[in-house]
Structures are given as structure tokens and as C-alpha cells.
């Protein structure tokens, strides 16, 4: 696996890829997967997942694929190298050092929404950047400005908070045609309301300001016409693999199930759901293997 890092308007971005065979073969189109980490985590914590996905693709015969896969990671807002206020990443009573965060409902939704906006920002500007390397071959591999490599597909996958952001990206970004939310939820109020009740927090100001509830009601994936059989549905034609843990109590399948069951991706879309028995709030090896298989079958495999 090859890893390169570049800075896009101040945002450090990591790009992982398989090393291509140096046989003079013309470069293939590139499918770029944004891999989003969880709350209180950071980009380097999902590096092993990126490697595992690429290893699975390699084992399937990457040299025979119609496209190359690159995996892109970055620190979410207020995470990793971008931390400004560590307290904003805490919950009401999650036991993290530093105590309670009364703004948890606001901070969590703002961060996952901001992450989805960062994905759109990178889709806009990443192709214009050039990777810097002392290795001449790698410079050729990572040339963007002259369209030497064509980005054929934009994809997103994420774990936990990154899974929530994956759903938001699928809803908001028409250029993203495939998403893999892992232990994430598309319905913010269905997820956060039981947590608030458990922490004895009312769904009311100051914990849930009126402006926040209005924003969620207007912009949450669950608020979109996801059951519509026409172009009003932003999920129509998209390929979605939902991966959940059957024993997950933090992001329980029950919070996502009504939305996912009703989700209509249309005849051109794909909806696949895997709820892994006995798995809690974790990205399991089986989930990584399922993600790689889904990417292979729906994007990479030469048809």
C-alpha cells in the first residue's frame, strides 16, 4: 500500500492506494473513497481500515479491475490536528475526562454536517492538486491538474460519527453515487432522543435550541423524501451498503431500521443491509470485508 499526504487549502489529506505494476500500462480511471472516522477519533485511527479494504481489493485481483481505488482520510472538524475545543467532542455523560458537555446535541450534529461539507469541498478541489514526491513515478501517479488521471467515481464510507456523515453526504452530494455507513444512523432524532432521555436531558432549549431542531427537520436525511419514486428522492440511483452491529447499544439498529427499510433507491440503485449478530459498536473484520466486496462488485470490477 502506498500513502501520500497533501494539504488542500490548509486541510491535511491522506491518500492510500495500491502500488500499480510498473509495466507501462496506461493509468486507469480512479474511484476515490472518502473514509470518515468516528467521534473522538482521528484520521490515522482508520488507516488500518483503509489498508484492509485495499488488501481485500488486491486479493480479488486489482490488476484485473477496471478502475483503481484510492482511499482518502482527513481529520474531522475539531478532531485530530483540527481540535480547537476538546470539550465539544464530549457527550452529556459519556465518562470522558473533562466532564459533561451540555452542547452535545448541537456539537455532534454540527460536526457530522461539517464533515459532509468537507467531503463536497474536497470533491471540488482535490483534482486540482498535485502530489509532491521525490519519486518521479509517484509524481506521475498523483498528477491532477492536467487531468492525467480521471476521477470516475466519488464514494464515501464512515464509521460511527463518520457513518452519520456518510448518510448526510449521500443525501446532499449528487456526485457521490455510493455510500457505506458503518454503525451510523440516518435519523438524528431517532438516535439522540433515547440518549437524551437516558441522560435526563429534555428535547428543548438550551440542550436542543429551536434553531437546531428546525435545521434537523429541514435537512436531516430522515427529513428527505427518501421513499419517493421520483427525482425528488436524493437517494434514487445510489448504491448503499448499511453495516450495523446487532448488539450495538450506542447506535442501535432499531434507530436506523425504519428509515433503511423504507428507503427507495430505485431500479438503478442498490440497497444492501448487513446486521452482524453479536457485534456491538465496532467496525468488525467482516464489515470491512463486506465493504470491499461491495466496492468491487459495484465500482471496481471490470464488466
User: What would the pLDDT profile of 259-279 be if each residue is shown by its tens digit?
Assistant: 999 999 999 999 999 999 999
Average pLDDT over residues 198-227: 97
Average pLDDT over residues 29-38: 95
pLDDT of residue 136: 40
Question: Which tens digits make up the pLDDT trace of 51-66?
Answer: 999 999 989 887 778 8
Residue that wins the pLDDT comparison between 168 and 26: 168
The Cβ of residue 23 has, within 10 Å, a number of other Cβ atoms equal to 6
Round to whole Å and give the CA distance between 132 and 192: 43
Round to whole Å and give the CA distance between 48 and 50: 5
Q: Domain limits of the chain? A: 2-300
pLDDT of residue 64: 79
Residue 95 has pLDDT above 80, yes or no: no
Tell me the range of 14-18, 71-75, 84-88, 134-138 where mean pLDDT is highest: 71-75
Average pLDDT over residues 240-265: 98
202 — pLDDT class (breaks 50, 70, 90):
very high
Burial of 6 (0-12, 13-18, 19+ CB in 10 A): middle
Q: For 88-97, 100-109, 158-167, 192-201, which range has the lowest pLDDT when averaged over its residues?
A: 88-97
Residue that wins the pLDDT comparison between 63 and 288: 288
Round to whole Å and give the CA distance between 251 and 244: 8
Enter the CATH code of domain 2-300: 3.40.50.1820
Amino acid at each position: 500500500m502506498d500513502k501520500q499526504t497533501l494539504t488542500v487549502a490548509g486541510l491535511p489529506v491522506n491518500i492510500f492506494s495500491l502500488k500499480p505494476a510498473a509495466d507501462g500500462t496506461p493509468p486507469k480511471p480512479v474511484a476515490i473513497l472518502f473514509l470518515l472516522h468516528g467521534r473522538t477519533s482521528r484520521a490515522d485511527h482508520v488507516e488500518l481500515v483503509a489498508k484492509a479494504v485495499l488488501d481485500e481489493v488486491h486479493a480479488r485481483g486489482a490488476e484485473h479491475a477496471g478502475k483503481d481505488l484510492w482511499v482518502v482520510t482527513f481529520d474531522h472538524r475539531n478532531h485530530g490536528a483540527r481540535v480547537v475545543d476538546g470539550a465539544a467532542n464530549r457527550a452529556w455523560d459519556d465518562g470522558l475526562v473533562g466532564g459533561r458537555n451540555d452542547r452535545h446535541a448541537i456539537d455532534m450534529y454540527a460536526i457530522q454536517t461539517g464533515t459532509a461539507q468537507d467531503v463536497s469541498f474536497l470533491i471540488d478541489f482535490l483534482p486540482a492538486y498535485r502530489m509532491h514526491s521525490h519519486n518521479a513515478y509517484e509524481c506521475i501517479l498523483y498528477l491532477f491538474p492536467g487531468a492525467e488521471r480521471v476521477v470516475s467515481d466519488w464514494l464515501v464510507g464512515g464509521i460511527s460519527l463518520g457513518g452519520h456523515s456518510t448518510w448526510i453526504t449521500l443525501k446532499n452530494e449528487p456526485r457521490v453515487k455510493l455510500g457505506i455507513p458503518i454503525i451510523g444512523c440516518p435519523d438524528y432524532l431517532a438516535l439522540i432522543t433515547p440518549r437524551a432521555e437516558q441522560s435526563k436531558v429534555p428535547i428543548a432549549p438550551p440542550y436542543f435550541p429551536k434553531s437546531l431542531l428546525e435545521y434537523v427537520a429541514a435537512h436531516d436525511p430522515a427529513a428527505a423524501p427518501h421513499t419517493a419514486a421520483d427525482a425528488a428522492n436524493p437517494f434514487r440511483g445510489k448504491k448503499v451498503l448499511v453495516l450495523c452491529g446487532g448488539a450495538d447499544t450506542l447506535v442501535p439498529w432499531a434507530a436506523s431500521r425504519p428509515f433503511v427499510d423504507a428507503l427507495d433507491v430505485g431500479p438503478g440503485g442498490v440497497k444492501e443491509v448487513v446486521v452482524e449478530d453479536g457485534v456491538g459498536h465496532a467496525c468488525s473484520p467482516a464489515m470491512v470485508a463486506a465493504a470491499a466486496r461491495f466496492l468491487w462488485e459495484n465500482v471496481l470490477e471490470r464488466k
